[in-house]
Amino acid sequence: METRRAAEAFAAIAQETRLDLLRLLVSRGPSGAGAGEIATLQGIPPSTLSFHLAALERAGLVRSTRRGRHVIYAVSVVGLRSLLGFLTETCCGGRPELCGDLARLFPAPEEDHHMTPAFNVLFLCTRNSARSIMAEAILTKLGEGRFNAWSAGSDPASAPMPEVLEKLRSVGHDVSGLRSKNWDEFMGPQAPRMDFVIALCDVLIGQSCPDFGNRAITGNWPLPDPFKFSGSAAERATLMNELYASLHRRIGIFTSLPFASLDRIAAKARLDEIGQSVRA
């Protein structure tokens, strides 16, 4: 295990609730326990529980599987052994046989080829043709595998705005997979579970954001809608540049947050701060 990954794992369990959750799941072994049962046993609200379990999963210490309508969580034996092996790999000057029982408790773990789970982030705006499309492309590029980005709208356009796609191409984004989508695509049982849902509209007129589950932390980063702007070509180009720059700054700050050390309330507060403090 690399030092960086070990530090992330230790940061994830440097919190009382998460440590208790990990101990509970260790006691349950590979069969694990359902989210509802865990919440009852630990006396934790479902939304808070989902946030802490997601942090442990991203640290590689917990894994989740879906069984029908239920999500089952279990300790990742490989991940836990990797972390403990990291502590003992230099035991007694690189001679673990001299450490006696300690070395036998924590044998060198098998290679883990599973990828670390990433945050799922959904950007929303009414037409899903400009702001949210830009945000999806930017996070995909800046996230470096640590984030999965999507975008959707309440009343999506038939396609993203050509000006938006041209701007993204000009700064090196792959736009081949970008399309305007209805947020209903993210509501079904087979849809990915969102960790963050960020609205980019001032208001979603006549619409209420759907319920993306207790796990999702919501935020609002209001930005002007290019679809409603009717200036000259030069003025529209300036607006596109400013919109892209503002989203890039916000998402850059977002991806740099110390998620492993933040609880749900703190993460929500930081998300709101980004929307309030970084202006277009």
Q: Do 236 and 180 share a structural domain? A: yes
Q: Do 241 and 186 share a structural domain? A: yes
Q: Do 134 and 70 share a structural domain? A: no
Q: Per residue of the chain (280 residues), what is the pLDDT tens digit?
A: 678 888 888 988 999 999 999 999 988 887 788 888 899 999 988 888 888 998 898 888 998 876 656 788 888 888 888 887 777 776 666 565 566 555 454 444 444 444 346 789 999 998 999 999 999 999 999 987 789 999 999 899 999 999 999 999 999 999 999 999 999 888 877 788 888 999 998 654 455 566 676 678 999 998 888 888 888 888 889 989 999 999 999 999 999 988 877 778 888 889 989 988 755 4
Q: Do 22 and 80 share a structural domain? A: yes
Residue 184 lies in a domain: yes
Q: Do 195 and 97 share a structural domain? A: no
Spatial separation of the C-alpha atoms in residues 199 and 213, rounded to whole Å: 16
Give the C-alpha distances (Å, rounded to integers) separating 57 from 36, 94, 141: 17, 30, 23
Q: Do 245 and 139 share a structural domain? A: yes
Whether this model's pTM surpasses 0.85: no
Number of neighbours of residue 108 by Cβ within 10 angstroms: 12
End residue of a domain, out of 105, 138, 160: 105
Q: Do 147 and 219 share a structural domain? A: yes
Residues 222 and 201 sit within 8 Å (Cβ to Cβ): yes
Q: Do 273 and 191 share a structural domain? A: yes
End residue of a domain, out of 73, 105, 137: 105
Residue 113 lies in a domain: no
Q: Do 239 and 188 share a structural domain? A: yes
Number of neighbours of residue 269 by Cβ within 10 angstroms: 12
Residue 61 structural domain = 3-105
Residue 111 lies in a domain: no
How many separate domains does the chain show? 2
Q: What is the CATH number of the domain that holds 195?
A: 3.40.50.2300
End residue of a domain, out of 105, 138, 155: 105
Question: CA angle, 177 as apex, 175 and 179 as ends, to 5°?
Answer: 95
Q: What is the CATH number of the domain that holds 18?
A: 1.10.10.10
The set of residues, in sequence order, having a beta carbon less than 8 Å from that of 150 and lying 6+ positions away, is 120, 121, 122, 123, 136, 181, 186, 192
pLDDT in tens, 119-174: 899 999 989 999 999 999 999 999 877 899 999 998 999 999 999 999 999 999 99
Number of neighbours of residue 57 by Cβ within 10 angstroms: 18
Helices (H), the chain: 3-13, 16-28, 35-42, 46-58, 77-88, 91-94, 101-105, 131-142, 162-170, 233-255, 264-277
Residue 112 lies in a domain: no
Q: Do 101 and 34 share a structural domain? A: yes
Q: Do 220 and 143 share a structural domain? A: yes
